[in-house]
Structure 1
Amino acid sequence: MPDNVRTPEGVEFRPHLFGATSFDGSLATTFKRAVTNVVCDNTMSAGLAETGQQIKIRHSRYSKLRLSEAREALNIVYEIADDFAAEVKRLCEQTVTDRQWRSFLDAHVPLPEEPGRSRTHAEHKRDALDRLWRHDDRVAPWQNTAYGVVQAVNTFTHHEQTVRGAVRAERNMLRAVTGGVDDLDTGTLHTLDAVMAGVAAA
C-alpha cells in the first residue's frame, strides 16, 4: 500500500482500497477506493467530484468466481494518490469568500422561519460548521477555499454530528462502505457550485 502523501497545499492523506462483506448476505461484498485525511482521520471520496470507484459482488453460490475482478481492482490503489492530489489542488485554488461561505451555510443548513427545536438544531449545526471553518486545525488551514468547505462538512459529520443507535466509529465505517462518504462529499460540492453560481450572478 502506498505511504502517506502530502500535497503542496499541505493536505496529508493516505490512499487505500478497503473491502467489506457480511455474514448474512445483507451487504454485498464491496471493494472500494478511498482516502483517509491524516490530520483528522476522515474517510473521504477518492474522486471528491465523482463517486469513488468500487466493485460490488452480490452474495451467491457463484460469487467466488468474480473475486478475480477484485484482485484486478487492487491495482487502482496506486492511481488514487494522483487523482486525489489533483482534486485537492483544484479545490484549494477555488476561492470561497466569507459571503459565499455564509450563502453555503444558508443552502446546506437552512434556518426554519419559525422558532422551535428544528431552528435551534440548525443554528447549532451552523455554529459548529462556522467554528470549524474559522478556528479548527482540521479545517481552518484551508479556510476560504472549496477544499475547506468540503473539509468542514466532512469533519463535522465524522466527529461532531449526533450519533444514535451506533458507535461513532462503526457509523463512519458503514457510511464509507455503503457510499455515504461519496454522497456527502459530492453533495457538498454540488451545493457549493450552485451557491457560487448564484452569488456570481447576483
Structure 2
Amino acid sequence: MSKETLAWLNANVLIGFTDQREHAWHYRAALQGNEPNHYPGAIPIDDVKRRLFSWVPISSPLFVSGSAPGTFDEIPGRQAIRRSDTGHVMGIFTDSYEPHQYDVWLLDTIGRLLDADLSIGSAGLLRDGAVAWVSVEVPETIKTPEGVSFRPHLFGATSFDGSLATTFKRAVTNIVCDNTMAAGLAEHGQQIKIKHSRHSMLRLDEARDALNIVYEIADDFAAEVRRLCEITVTDKQWAGFLDAHAELPEQPGRSRSMAERKRETLAQLWNHDMRVAPWRGTAYGVVQAVNTYVHHEQTVRGAERAERNMLRAVTGGVEELDLATLTTLDKVLGGLALAA
C-alpha cells in the first residue's frame, strides 16, 4: 500500500500549466472536491500558502514516564516538531534543530523570481506534511530540433522529519513521459543545501542568489540532448549496454528472473514505446530508456512512486541516475558518451 493515498495527492499536491502538460497521473475528478488541484496556467503563490502552507511547525518538549505512577519527566535537549493544525508529530530532534518554515524558506525565497517569465509550476506536501516542495518553471514548454519537449524548472524542497536539508536544485521535466531529468545529463548540476541549524538563516541570501540559475537550464539541457542524439548506438552496442547495466547471473533464481524482467522491459521501451523509441539508436535514447524505466516501471518498495520520484529529483538521485547510465554507456562505446 502506498504511503500517499490518491485522496492525499489530490488534496495536497498542486499541478500547474496543465494546458502545456495535461493532468498528472494521480488526478481523479471525484477526489477534487470544490477546488481542483490542477491549474491550466501558473499556480498563484497565495493558493500555495492557503492550501498547503497555512500551518507552522511547533517545537514541543518530550517526556517519558516518571518513576512515580502518573508522573512524567522531560527529556533534556530533545524536541518534537508538530503541525500546528493537526498536532501530528513529524520528527524528533536535538534542541539545536531549527525547522525551516515552508512559507519563508520556499515561497518567500522563490517568490523573488516570480515575474512575467517565471511562475510556480507545482507544489506539494508528502509524508503527512513532513516534506514539501515548490517548483519554479518557465511558462512555455520548449521543444528541441530532435523532438524532445521539456520544461526547465528549479526545485525548492525541505522537510520536518530529517529526511532533507533545505535544497534548491535545477532540473527539467520531460513532457513525453513526465520524467524528471538532470539539466546536465552527463555532469553534476548546480544545487545548494542548507542544514536545519540555528545559524542557517545566514545562508538564505545565498539560496536566493542560487535560484537565478533557472535561466541557464534550457540552454544546457538542449545542448546536451543535441550532443547525445548525435552519438549512434547500434543494436550490438545496445545489447552490450544491457549486459553491463542489467547483468544476468549465471545461476537460475530470483536474481536472474529480476534481471531478465528488467532487460525485457528496457527492450520494450527501446523498440516500441513512444516515450523512448523515437530516439532509438542514439545515446539520448539509452538515457531516456533507463530514466523512464526507473520513473514508471521499476518496482517501488516502501514508498509511493510520486514521493520517490520527487525526492530523487531534489536529493540528487535523478542526476546520479542519468550520469550512471552515461558512464556505463561510455564504457560500451569506448569513451564517446561522456562530454570531453
Tell me the distance in 1 between the aligned counterparts of 2:324 and 2:310: 19
Q: CA deviation at 1:154?
A: 0.2
- The structure that has the greater radius of gyration is 2
Q: CA deviation at 1:24?
A: 3.5
User: Residue 42 of structure 1: which of 164, 176, 179 is its match?
Assistant: 179
Q: Which residue of structure 2 aligns with residue 188 of structure 1?
A: 325
TM-score (norm 2): 0.57
5+ residue gaps in structure 2?
1-117, 119-137, 336-340
What are the residue-to-residue correspondences of 1:17-96 with 2, within 5 Å? 17-96=154-233
Tell me the distance in 2 between the aligned counterparts of 1:126 and 1:25: 36
Q: Deviations over 1:37-74 (max 9, x none)?
A: 01001000011010121000111111112111111112
Q: Deviations over 1:124-183 (max 9, x none)?
A: 100000000000000000000000000000000000000111111101111112111111
Tell me the distance in 2 between the aligned counterparts of 1:142 and 1:63: 44
Say which is worse superposed, 126-135 or 55-64, in terms of deviation: 55-64
Tell me the distance in 1 between the aligned counterparts of 2:236 and 2:202: 54
5+ residue gaps in structure 1?
none
- Which structure shows the bigger proportion of residues in helix conformation? 1
Q: Deviations over 1:91-114 (max 9, x none)?
A: 000000000000000000000001
Query: Are residue 161 (structure 1) and residue 311 (structure 2) matched?
Result: no
2:152 aligned counterpart, secondary structure: strand
What are the residue-to-residue correspondences of 1:107-186 with 2, within 5 Å? 107-186=244-323
Counterpart AA for 2:307: E
Q: CA deviation at 1:87?
A: 0.1
Q: CA deviation at 1:15?
A: 0.3
User: Residue 105 of structure 1: which of 242, 247, 253 is its match?
Assistant: 242
TM-score (norm 1): 0.96
State percent identity of aligned pairs.
77
Q: Stretches of 4+ moved more than 6 A in 1? A: none
Counterpart AA for 2:190: Q
